[in-house]
Amino acid sequence: MAATTNGSANFNETPERFVNESTVAYGSTTIDLENAELNGGVLLKTLYLSIDPHMRIWMDATSTSTGSGYELGKPIWGIGMALALRSEKNDVREGDIVYVQMYPFQEYNILSADIPMRVIHPEPGIPLSAYVNILGMPGQTAFYGLELIGSPKAGETIYVSAGAGTVGSIVAQLAKVKGLKVIASAGSSDKVEAMKRMGVDVAFNYKTDDVADVLAKEGPIDIYWDHIGGPQLEAAIGACNLYARIIVCGALLAFNKAPPHHVKNLAEILFKRLRVQGFMYWEAEVEVEGHSNNPVKFINALTSLVKSGQIKWTEQVFHGIKSANKAIATALTGGNTGKVVIKVADP
């Protein structure tokens, strides 16, 4: 029995407010890759781990919205991509690359047969990391949110908060492809420049320009993609056209336990007949695709846009499972310059 070290990213400390480098800590066990019992499941070698904002929720013991959270001293989980080393599961073969939504952050995992995983079929010319990015959850979030709630029509105007972020930048580009006028904001001049390069019509820094002023000048808006809540939500409601749709995709201020902002114009939800809706991508997937874990409409729509270069994406790669604490602290405090992924190993 050859024992191989199995490094993991363990939940180390419940963050008071902001995630930091002590929130997660490296740990390790060992695993016998050749002989470990699979019990009908799959032995996986981790390739990429994805760090996403909604992981913040699972660090909060009081969270009731998504089931149980992370356990102290145990590996955290999130979206992962892995190579099947051995499989006793029907639809996964040795050598397949699988995408798993609830993947423990370890170098190796044995997942039982009932855990949903999807075999991905990488297209020539598209790097593997794209499948945890624009062709994974962030892309699905943007695509399903627009399809399900946004109903964008050519000629309409959308405002995207956190428009330089992973999801926001995909939303902005998808909206451009659909013929919308795109207004987007971010919190630094670098990000404003990045948004301009990706084709945003009106890119601005919400720290130096007043959101309500910009929207009064460049709006009214038909769709607001909300990553933030609070004052941006209030400004957006004020700038909404009749029948506008507000897609509530994030609530960074609440994630980080900022004191709630007093949104004073909620009555406009009635006066303007607004639809304000929160969603999580895995549920939206079921509604748009008609089933889970097989995002056909999404893959078809996005793959060609990616191959033709009409939509670009960004990434910031950390290397090795030991970098997880830094990767998480960077991504969840907005210090990243692209979507954060951890490259754990080559296939």
Q: Which residues bind a second copy (CB under 8 A)?
A: 57, 63-66, 229, 233, 242, 248-251, 253-254, 260, 262-280, 283
- Tokens at 185, concatenated: 């904001």
Q: In angstroms, what is the minimal distance from the CB of 200 to a second copy?
A: 24
Q: How many CB atoms lie within 10 A of CB 232?
A: 24
Least Å distance, CB 208 to a second copy, is 26
Radius of gyration from C-alpha coordinates of the chain: 21
CA-nearest of 303, 337, 301, 295 to 318 is 337
Say how far apart CA 300 and CA 97 lie, in whole Å. Answer: 19
Which lies closer to a second copy via its Cβ, residue 280 or residue 317? 280
Q: How far is the CB of 254 from a second copy (least distance, A)?
A: 3
Cβ nearer to a second copy, comparing 116 with 278: 278
Phi and psi, residue 272, nearest 5°: -100, 5
In terms of CB distance, is 109 or 157 closer to a second copy? 157
Q: E-strand spans in 32-186?
A: 42-50, 77-87, 97-104, 108-111, 118-119, 157-160, 181-186
**Minimum distance from CB of 198 to a second copy (Å)?**
25
63 vs 304, which CB is nearer to a second copy? Answer: 63
Least CB distance from residue 75 to a second copy, whole Å?
24
- Measured from the CB atom, is 241 or 316 closer to a second copy? 241
Half-sphere exposure of 165 (CA within 13 A, CB side): 29
CB of 293 to a second copy, least distance (A): 19
The residue (of 63 and 292) whose beta carbon lies closer to a second copy is: 63
User: Which among 154, 144, 158, 140 has a CA at the least distance from the CA of 245?
Assistant: 158
Measured from the CB atom, is 208 or 271 closer to a second copy? 271
Instruction: Give the CB-side neighbour count of residue 198, counting CA atoms within 13 A.
Output: 28
Query: Are 98 and 81 within 8 A, CB to CB?
Result: yes
CB of 225 to a second copy, least distance (A): 12
HSE at residue 303, side-chain half, CA atoms within 13 A, is 15
